[in-house]
Amino acid sequence: MAKTAVIAIGGNSLITDKEHQSVPDQYQACAETCDHIASMIQRTGVHLVITHGNGPQVGFILRRAELAAKELHMVPLDSCVADTQGALGYHIQRALYNEFQRLGFTKTAVTVVTQVLVDKDDPAFKKPNKPIGSFMSQSQAEEHRAKDKWDVVEDAGRGWRRVVASPIPKEIMELEAIKDLLAKDFVVVAVGGGGIAVVRDEKDQLAGAAAVIDKDLASSLLARQLGADYLIISTAVEKVYLNFGKPDQKALDRITVAEAKTHMAEGHFKPGSMLPKIQAVIDFLEGGGKEAIITNPEHLELALAGKTGTHIVP
């Protein structure tokens, strides 16, 4: 039977650098990653769910809203995430369609706009610390605090920024739809940007939350709830390193969860970079996953074949 994998593609797969941020540039970067993904699907027959980041794209939407504030309403954060799920999902669908055509096999990708439940009492809501959007003056920040109920902080002398909570994902609300699509052999794009954060009220109704969910943690949760064989995290490097960037850096080929925890405790993985990826992998493997792989887009096929990348096992 074909195995199931969740692959989380990072920001470098969508925006390569500051000089290439336009929508056509983003599509081109996405198409290059989808070239590798399509080849991997063709050669392995793996059932695949693709998740993706959206940080810069949400920032662009918020900046447009700020510039247009005298003419148009602000866009709530949950709607920003939904917007990016649709737009980036479309890019992935189109790029994969074109690659499947080029490779000469029939396959269809579909995007599921995905809500992810978080606990309204998550401690993260009491201490928002995830910066989003552009820098502001103190007067602008205070105006948003009063008018829009934003949490704002001064950022290392560079100006003021909005901060939001980054709560732990608890439940993928569209899980059954994703399962059904996988069973029908679709490639599914889901949980974009970590999912649209929603909370349940006292009447069991869902409401959007002003929060962002870590994409790798949400991908790990999705992989566990699907019973996936693999969690693959596509990032900027071919392998994970100890002492990364130092003269004595050492590539990791294959490690266990226990070894990953040791390296994490020793401070080898940086917050906002490799640390959440390693934590997501540990959660997946401790939740029943068989294997996790961390590598860059161009090595996806070889990594799945066991020839490169960092492989983490229970």
Q: What are the tens digits of pLDDT across the range 126-155?
A: 999 888 877 888 998 898 889 888 899 987
The whole-number average pLDDT for the span 4-30 is 88
Whose CA is closest to 288, among 215, 191, 221, 214? 221
If DSSP codes are grouped into helix, strand and coil, which group holds residue 7? Answer: strand
Catalytic annotation, pick one of 3, 11, 59, 107: 11
In the prediction, which pLDDT does 260 show?
97
Catalytic annotation, pick one of 12, 120, 170, 287: 12
In the prediction, which pLDDT does 290 show?
95
Question: What's the whole-number average pLDDT of the chain?
Answer: 93
In the prediction, which pLDDT does 24 show?
92
Catalytic annotation, pick one of 54, 133, 193, 277: 277
Crossing angle for the helix pair 215-226 and 175-183, nearest 10 degrees?
A: 60
Catalytic annotation, pick one of 10, 89, 130, 296: 130
pLDDT category at 189 given cuts 50, 70, 90 is very high
Residue that has been written with the tokens 């797969």 in this structure: 13
pLDDT category at 61 given cuts 50, 70, 90 is very high
| Assigned token pair, 56 | 């810069």
Residue 215 annotated to the active site = yes
**One-letter identity of residue 311:** H
pLDDT category at 94 given cuts 50, 70, 90 is very high
- Burial (Cβ within 10 Å: 0-12, 13-18, ≥19) of residue 90: middle
The whole-number average pLDDT for the span 42-47 is 92
- Burial (Cβ within 10 Å: 0-12, 13-18, ≥19) of residue 248: exposed
In the prediction, which pLDDT does 157 show?
76
pLDDT category at 67 given cuts 50, 70, 90 is confident
Strands 187-189 and 47-52, by their bridges, are parallel
Instruction: State the Cα–Cα distance between residues 307 and 94, nearest whole angstrom.
Output: 29
> Which of 86-100, 150-164, 281-295 has the weakest average pLDDT?
150-164
pLDDT category at 1 given cuts 50, 70, 90 is low
204-224 per-position pLDDT tens digit? 999 999 999 999 999 999 999
Catalytic annotation, pick one of 10, 215, 289, 309: 215
Q: Is the pLDDT of residue 241 over 80?
A: yes
Residue 11 annotated to the active site = yes
Q: Is the pLDDT of residue 13 over 80?
A: no
In the prediction, which pLDDT does 12 show?
64
Domain ranges for the chain, please list them: 4-118+168-313, 128-164
The whole-number average pLDDT for the span 274-289 is 96
Residue 246 annotated to the active site = no
In the prediction, which pLDDT does 144 show?
85
- Burial (Cβ within 10 Å: 0-12, 13-18, ≥19) of residue 65: middle
Instruction: State the Cα–Cα distance between residues 187 and 52, nearest whole angstrom.
Output: 14
In the prediction, which pLDDT does 272 show?
77
Choice between 208 and 270, residue whose per-residue pLDDT is larger: 208
CATH architecture of 4-118+168-313: 3-Layer(aba) Sandwich (3.40)
